Every structure is written in C-alpha cells, then in structure tokens.
Structure 1
Amino acid sequence: MGDKLATRSGQLEPEEFEKFRLFLKDACGISLSENKQYLVTTRIRRILADNQLDSLTQLVEQMQRSRHSRLRTEVIDAMTTNETFWFRDTYPFEYLKQTIFPELQNQKGAIGPLRIWSAACSSGQEPYSISMTAEEYRRINMGVLPRPVEIVATDLSSAMLEQCKSGEYDKMSVVRGLARERLDSFFDKLNNETWRVKPAIRERVQFKALNLMDPFIGIGRFDLIFCRNVLIYFSAELKEDILRRMHAVLKPGGILVLGSSEGLAGAGDLFEMVHCNPGIMYRAR
C-alpha cells in the first residue's frame, strides 16, 4: 500500500522509476530525464487505479509479460501523447506553399503523386495543415495541381490515430494557430463545440501506426518529410539512426523539416542546409 500512496503523491522510489524509464526506452525510444517523475505519476495514476495496481514496478512487470497487451498500449499512449497546434511555427507551411510546391509540382520528369510524410503526427494538426496548404496552393494556381498530393501521417499512439481519422476537433483545439478564414474555409461546424475537417482536406491524408524505432517498411518514398519536435525525446544514437533511415526513404533532393530546436545529430553528411528566412530545412544529398 505504501508504494501506491508514494506514486500518487508524486514521490517515486528511484528503483521503480528506473524500471519504468528502461521500459519506455525499450518500447518506444523515449529517454525520460530524472526530473520527469511528476509527469509519470500524473499520466499513469489513472491506469494504476483502473488496473488495481499498487506501483510502477507491478505495472512494468505486467506489461513485460506481453508485447501486445492492451495495458502496454495504454501506457505508451499516455506517455507519448503531446499537444500540438495548427500551422506550427508558420514558416514551414509558407515555404511549402511559396517555394517547395512550385518546385516539386513543376519538376521535369517527375511522375506520380507528390508524397509527404508527417512523422509523429500526434493529434493530426500537422498533416491536416499540410493538406490545407496544398489546397491553398491549388486555389492560387487556377485550381490545378499537376501532381496530386499524398500525405502519410504516422504516430505511435493508437488512440491519437483514431482521433485523427475522424478529423473532429473541439473549440479549444481549433483556436490554437488557426485563423478564422481557414476555419471557415476548411472545416464544417457540427455544433457549437465541434468542427470537422472537410472531406477534400481529409482525403489527402492517410494515417498509419508506426514506431520510429522500427524499420520504415511499406511506407514508400517521399519528396518531403516533416519530423518535428519528437527527436528531442530520443538518445543521440537513436536520433542519428532515425535520420539515416529517413534519408533512405527520401527521394534524391527531397526535403526534411525538423523542429526549430532540433538538429541533424550525426547525420549531417547526408543533408545540406536550406535557409527559409526565417527557419531552416534540409535537402537530401
């Protein structure tokens, strides 16, 4: 009983916190720092109560019995769910519309759709923002897209992916980074509390479950990859490994977009810097 009370108060025993840290790193690559005890207790408290478990130690032991258990999935979802918002940082989407789309849409010899990967898409704002940007580009070009745009959005969290597929967002979500004109143009209002992304925007996006630690098999090759604000949670070795595997699925000259506080780790030899003024992207060598 003492363990349960300690966990609920936010004071974890070092040994059980270390066991949980090792589990999370093995399961999805996230490296929790020592000061994340409160985050763990906040996100795991309900799961312990629902499963009548007294401690993190018991939780880890139960999850380790099966790599495909419902409990394991629930814990990973709880620890990897992050808030995001529409058109985050602005410049990647403006540069996409003003420079990258014109370049790739009119690329000589290019055949097939223009393919974009939104990695670790969380609750879907990023891939839908990309699709809205494609629609804005289409509208300013007399309604024409020489190459259709396909967006593959992946995330580790199965709960997030189900939410993404519905395309439905509440009032608090739609006000975060979304201009009124875009809300009116790209969403249907279902009621006073809920909006749904219009079908034309949703249809460009395909959502798939993917752990960035696993091989990128079956997702194809891409003209552009967005992988923002997720690499900061991984070790230096795993960051480099992920970036090298992303380079392998980028087409020659393809573009990689990282978060504003993220860099290329040890994979700098594979990319050249592209200055967006403001902001930076990376072109595959």
Structure 2
Amino acid sequence: MQTPQFEFMRDFLLQQSGLVVEESKMYLLRTRLQPLLKEHSIATLNELADRLKKDRNSRLARQVVDAMTTNETLFFRDQYPFDALRDVMLPQCASSPVRIWSAASSTGQEAYSIAMIAAEALGGKGKRVEIAGTDISDQALTKAAGGTYTQMEVQRGMPARLLIKYFEQDGSNWRLKPEIRNMVRFGPANLVSPTLSSEMRGKGPFDIVFCRNVLIYFNVGARLQVIDNLAACMKDSGYLVTGAAEIPKGNKSRWEAVHFGNRNLWRLVAR
C-alpha cells in the first residue's frame, strides 16, 4: 500500500472510530478489508482509499469501519467481571431500575451475560435492571439484537445450566428467550464522540459501565476522551469495569480502585 493512501486510511479510521492503525499493523488492513474489496470489485487497498476520499459518509465507508472495529467476543469472558457484578456491584445499587451499559457490546455476548447474571441475582427481589448495549458497528448490532448464536458461539464460555435455562434451540442455532432479550436495548454509539453524553442521556445515568478490551486500541488522547465521556454518563460513585490491563485515566474524571480478588474494578470519584 502506498504511503499517501495508508496515511489517509490511518487518519480516516482514527477520526471515525478512534482506532489506531500503525504502519506495522498494515496486515490488519489487508486481512480485514479483503472481503470488502471482493464485494465492491475493488482491486487494491490503494483504490479503496481513493474511493473513500471521495465520500467519507458512504455505505462503503461505514463497512470499512465495521470491518476494522468488530472484535472477537464471547459469553462470560474472563468470568471475574461477572462474579464481581453478582457479588459486589449489584448488591450496592440501591436504585431501581439498575442501569448498566455495555459500552462496546460487539455482537452482544457481554450484554446478554450481564442480563443473565442480573436475572439470577435479582430475580424475585423486586429490582429491575435496564441494560444498554452500544457499538460503532451496524453489522455487530444487528446480530446482537437478534439474540441468536451458533453452537460454537454458545460453547465458548456459556455454562450448560444457563444455556438450558435461558436459550431455545432454533435449528442448529440457539436463541435467547424473550425474558433475557428484553432486558437489553442495542443502539449505535461512538465512544470518542464529543456528543456521547447527550446521545446517551435517555438511557442513563448508569450505575455500572462495562468498557472492556477497548481502550488498548486507542491512542492516549482518545483514551482520555473516552474515559471522560463514560464518566459523564454515570452516576456518582458508579462502577466501571475495564480490561485487565486497562487503567481508567481521564483529563477530568478521577477513579478509585476497588479490589476484587487480584483484579480491580473502578469507582467514579469525580468528573
């Protein structure tokens, strides 16, 4: 890929999604965008960049962002955040409904894992839970809203007891029952957008936010912005769950660590 076209693609992805693609990661462009090249009969990445320059708001542009930002996910990933949700965070939420945000929900496994934990922990206790799942990828959101997963997808991380309790078999796939699907509302959101807090106002403020394994893909400036954006959407003393290697630090917001075993959760101190 020629340097001017690579620099355009790098800047385009940074502006549209906050994603940082360094020259050493050019292979990601090749592997993730190859299916789009075939679909649109585009010969090379250079030609793709030239087409995006002409219209940054086209369907093709949205597909490029989708392809580059859709990341692997699975049910109950790493397990400890969901144990902490059950044992620490939910018991400390006095309000009803409890509002929880899966801020980079991808194809929905995290948001639905949260819903199942909440159903198990709070069922019959008179406390409602509302979960928002957001992502920048339209394709991922469409799959998430459908609540249907392959046999392989449910085998990765899903306890057999919860599969039997909360899913119905749909041919060779598995579909979540309405009681879980209806706990979650999916919609688009760009975490680096300066208008994020106003866009999320009707869904929050949130008691708990999951934003896991996302910050690692942003540069330092975007990370600071995202953390402040999340804080602006949360209640005072709300909980933030990040990836194991991600430490929240904003330009304005301040956080304190809450230890759970050998891992940390984060509580909002000031915004």
Are 1:30 and 2:11 counterparts?
Answer: no
- Of 219-228 and 55-64, more deviation after overlay is shown by 55-64
Contact 1:272 1:284 in 2 (8 A): yes
Shift of 1:114: 0.8
Shift of 1:279: 1.4
Is there any run of 5+ residues in structure 1 with no aligned partner, and where?
1-11
Are 1:134 and 2:118 counterparts?
Answer: yes
The equivalent of 1:5 in structure 2 is: none
**Within 2, Cα distance between the matches of 1:241 and 1:42?**
29
After superposition, the C-alpha distances for 1:79-102 in whole angstroms (9 at most, x for unaligned) are: 111111111111111111112111
Contact 2:100 2:206 in 1 (8 A): yes
What SS does the aligned partner of 2:232 have? helix
Shift of 1:269: 5.7
**Within 1, Cα distance between the matches of 2:3 and 2:147?**
41
What SS does the aligned partner of 2:162 have? helix
Alignment of 1:197-236 (within 5 A): 197-214=176-193, 215-216=195-196, 217-220=198-201, 221-236=205-220
What SS does the aligned partner of 1:92 have? helix
- Of 198-207 and 14-23, more deviation after overlay is shown by 14-23
**Within 2, Cα distance between the matches of 1:157 and 1:212?**
12
TM-score norm. by structure 2 comes to: 0.92
The equivalent of 1:144 in structure 2 is: 125
The equivalent of 2:162 in structure 1 is: 182
- Of 112-121 and 60-69, more deviation after overlay is shown by 60-69
TM-score norm. by structure 1 comes to: 0.88
Give the number of the structure whose alpha-carbon radius of gyration is greater.
1
What SS does the aligned partner of 1:23 have? helix
The equivalent of 2:173 in structure 1 is: 194
Name the amino acid aligned to 2:179. Answer: A
Shift of 1:61: 2.6
The equivalent of 1:270 in structure 2 is: 254
Shift of 1:237: 0.7
Is there any run of 5+ residues in structure 2 with no aligned partner, and where?
none
Are 1:89 and 2:78 counterparts?
Answer: yes
Shift of 1:18: 2.5
Are 1:121 and 2:105 counterparts?
Answer: yes
1:279 paired residue among 223, 246, 263 = 263
Q: How many residues align?
A: 264
Shift of 1:66: 2.7
**Within 2, Cα distance between the matches of 1:28 and 1:72?**
12
What SS does the aligned partner of 1:123 have? coil
What SS does the aligned partner of 1:260 have? coil
Shift of 1:268: 8.5
**Within 1, Cα distance between the matches of 2:102 and 2:251?**
20
Name the amino acid aligned to 2:112. Answer: Y
Dislocated runs of 4+, deviation >4 Å: 266-269
The equivalent of 1:164 in structure 2 is: 144
Shift of 1:266: 4.4
Contact 1:19 1:57 in 2 (8 A): no
The equivalent of 1:8 in structure 2 is: none
- Percent pairwise identity: 39
Contact 1:157 1:209 in 2 (8 A): yes
The equivalent of 2:29 in structure 1 is: 40
Contact 2:30 2:45 in 1 (8 A): no
**Within 1, Cα distance between the matches of 2:102 and 2:118?**
14
What SS does the aligned partner of 1:256 have? strand
